[in-house]
Amino acid sequence: MTSPALDFSPPPWVAPAPSLRSDFCGMDFVSPIVLLSGCVGFGEEYTRVSGFSNRDVGAVCLKGTTGKARLGNKPHRVYETPMGMLNAIGLQNPGADHVVDRILPTLDFTETRFIANASGSTIEEYIEVVARFDDSPIDAIEINISCPNVKEGGVTFGNDPEMSARVVAACRKVTQKPLITKLSPNQTNIQDNARRCIEAGTNAFAVINTLMGMAVDVRTRTAIIGNRQGGVSGPAIKPIALLKVAQVYEVARAHKVAIIGQGGITCANDALEFIIAGASAVGVGTALFYDPLVCPKINAGIAAYLAANNMAHVSELVGTLHGTHGH
């Protein structure tokens, strides 16, 4: 007589752990966390940190990439501020061909999703970069129309709804991959900009990019950042980012356009605020500079909140801010 097979399944009265998986523009995210562009290089920087794993995040957004290689801005490029940091890297990168031919083959696409960040000084350059990534294994493409630390393109495109829509429409024509438009907080009406980008064909938004700022050396009476101005990130901008996510969600929800909420997220509670405000995913960036292992902590906190509130799936929480319609 053979022994009965052992059953290790939990008893029926034990609820399964809440799921953090989600479908973001057709991509399977194992977690709502997205590592933000510029904070993890081309995906290889944090894999060298002991204990870090790409399997803890839904997606990694690669460093901003232009048509040709760029050296970026003169130093200083980074400056610590109260509750955050100021940066003006200037889109230093090896160019789209190098990224597609040399870097993408080194990434493990079984671990997580990888999102390219397409940048440019002209609409033609955006088209060139997006078309190059379209012919690659990259999972999605983020259009960086709102970079505040380059002298051309960037801010000009991102703060003008008409120009934003033109860039999105041009990129839409050369790729079938999901397009994520990165919106600038440095504009008059972010909802109008979002509406125009949806009409032009964007599949999702990243809300927000950094705010413009500067720092002054009082001894020399000069700007500390070599570019004079740069992008402010970190906890100081979280209240602004939250408001912008809620505003964009009012426009995006009717069209089922997803949002990556970002700006000052350092813990699970921060992430939960963004999800409640309307974000389907949350971007983590500046926090990685002082806590490279913050992602599993955020995941654990989100899961604990879902369990405490009898929610089986993180998507149930999206857009549940009172005064707005549920997701």
Q: Cα(59)–Cα(136) distance, rounded to whole angstroms?
A: 17
Contact 17/6 with Cβ under 8 angstroms?
A: no
Q: Cα(42)–Cα(101) distance, rounded to whole angstroms?
A: 13
Q: Cα(289)–Cα(320) distance, rounded to whole angstroms?
A: 31
Q: Cα(36)–Cα(306) distance, rounded to whole angstroms?
A: 24
Q: 25, 39, 147, 295: which one is catalytic?
A: 147
| Phi (first) and psi of residue 61, to 5 degrees | -95, 120
Nearest of 14, 29, 17, 27 to residue 275 by alpha carbon: 29
179 token code pair: 């397009």
Q: Cα(38)–Cα(61) distance, rounded to whole angstroms?
A: 8
Q: Cα(309)–Cα(98) distance, rounded to whole angstroms?
A: 47
CA quadruple 29, 155, 101, 180: dihedral, nearest 10: 20
Question: Would residue 39 show up in a list of annotated catalytic residues for this protein?
Answer: no
Active site residues per annotation: 147
